[in-house]
Amino acid sequence: MHPMIMKYLPDSIPSIPPILQGTRPLSILIGAGDVVQNGVTNVEQFSSYDILLCLPMGPGVEENISKLSDSGPVLCYIDVHSPQMVDFVQQFRGRFHTIDGHSVHIPHLSLETIEELLAEGGKATNIFEVSSSFVNIHTFLNWVKEEFINSYSNILMSTATVYSDAALTLSAEDAERLETVLREKIVYLNAVNKNVHLTEDILASLSSYRYFSLQKFFGSLLHDAITPLSLLGSVCLHCPAWDTEASIQLVMTKSSPMFWESILEEYIRLNGRTSDSDRAELIMNGVRSDMMNYMIWQSKAKYATFLRHMRKNILPFVKGDQE
């Protein structure tokens, strides 16, 4: 095996090449490393990344291997849906400042895996796949109006190609109906979501976007219910290093919630331990336990309770502007 290749197998964990060892933040491109485009290998084209991750199934596997050097990037061969991802996460937990998905149809990491791999302040982009399926306008509108559920399957359905007739085309009238419903749901979700939101400029110009963009906005916002508390999502204009043009994408940023530990310590120093300080610590520990176990809804609900409690019962009794 080439020293600049990490291959994860059921019975073995690869060693980390020296260039990746240490604590420096890393970057990874998912879905690249085995293709040659216009005579240029992925290894050459995406040399700004530290790791290229793929299954070696493309037509240019050997050509990419031949371009490997000690200066990187490193090729990582792994099935992201396999148990071997546990080993990868253990080796690289908290190491990545950038996790990019390449192109459209790529192997996508779960939000839990993204949260574990990102360093504080790190970003993940192109994290979900646009659907290649087709759905009738009536079925789609009924699903959106009546009971859409925030989950991976429904996120995928949100970007399906919507059609009106047997020719799989969408009439102008149906396109207008679809856009009206989507805008209403987007505004609603943007208002109630905890972690995933549109940027102000996109929200302000929502009426200018057509249904195919609105569907992607809608699918992005549906991520909120399955997004860990420590990830913040922004639907914004973004250009990853692998691309040449910016596009509107869902960008996830690792941002651990604040617990105001220093303020709580100051409160206890000034007032001694009280039932309010004990409750603050109890809720804080509960939030952290839920986060560790990826209990999404529970952690967000408890954290909202923690913030209300701190603002009402702790902050007013701490001298100075501590917030």
Type of residue found at 36: V
Average pLDDT score over the chain: 93
CA distances from 292 to 10, 65, 286, 296, 303 (A): 26, 38, 10, 10, 14
pLDDT band for 261, please (50, 70, 90 cuts): very high
What are the domain boundaries of the chain? 5-125, 134-254, 261-317
Residue-wise pLDDT tens digits, 59-113:
999 999 999 999 999 999 999 999 999 999 999 999 999 999 998 767 789 999 9
In DSSP terms, 100 is beta-bridged to 29, 125
Report the alpha-carbon distance of residue 165 to residue 162 in Å, rounded.
10
| Predicted local distance difference test score (pLDDT) of residue 107 | 77
Tokens standing for residue 159: 């970007």
Report the alpha-carbon distance of residue 14 to residue 177 in Å, rounded.
53
Whether the pLDDT of residue 321 is over 60: the answer is: no
Whether the pLDDT of residue 192 is over 60: the answer is: yes
| Predicted local distance difference test score (pLDDT) of residue 152 | 72
| Predicted local distance difference test score (pLDDT) of residue 177 | 95
Type of residue found at 254: K
Whether the pLDDT of residue 250 is over 50: the answer is: yes
Residues 233/123, Cβ–Cβ less than 8 Å: no
Residues 27/98, Cβ–Cβ less than 8 Å: yes
| Predicted local distance difference test score (pLDDT) of residue 323 | 47
Report the alpha-carbon distance of residue 137 to residue 145 in Å, rounded.
12
Percentage of residues in the chain having pLDDT higher than 90: 85
Q: Please name which of 105, 89, 110, 82 lies closest in space to residue 35, comparing C-alpha atoms.
A: 105
pLDDT band for 150, please (50, 70, 90 cuts): low
pLDDT band for 145, please (50, 70, 90 cuts): confident
Decide: residue 168, CB within 10 A, 0-12 exposed, 13-18 middle, 19+ buried: exposed
Residue-wise pLDDT tens digits, 10-43:
988 999 999 999 999 999 999 999 999 999 999 9
26 dihedral zone (left: phi>0; alpha: psi -120 to 50; beta): beta
Q: Please name which of 108, 111, 96 lies closest in space to residue 232, comparing C-alpha atoms.
A: 111
| Predicted local distance difference test score (pLDDT) of residue 114 | 96
Residue-wise pLDDT tens digits, 215-248:
999 999 999 989 999 999 999 999 999 999 999 9
CB burial string 106-130: b at 16+ within 10 A, e below: bbbbebebbbbbbbeebbbbbbbbb
Cis bond before residue 14 (omega within 30° of 0): no
Tokens standing for residue 239: 């250009």
Residues 181/145, Cβ–Cβ less than 8 Å: yes
pLDDT band for 320, please (50, 70, 90 cuts): low
Q: Please name which of 290, 288, 267, 292 lies closest in space to residue 278, comparing C-alpha atoms.
A: 267
pLDDT band for 258, please (50, 70, 90 cuts): very high
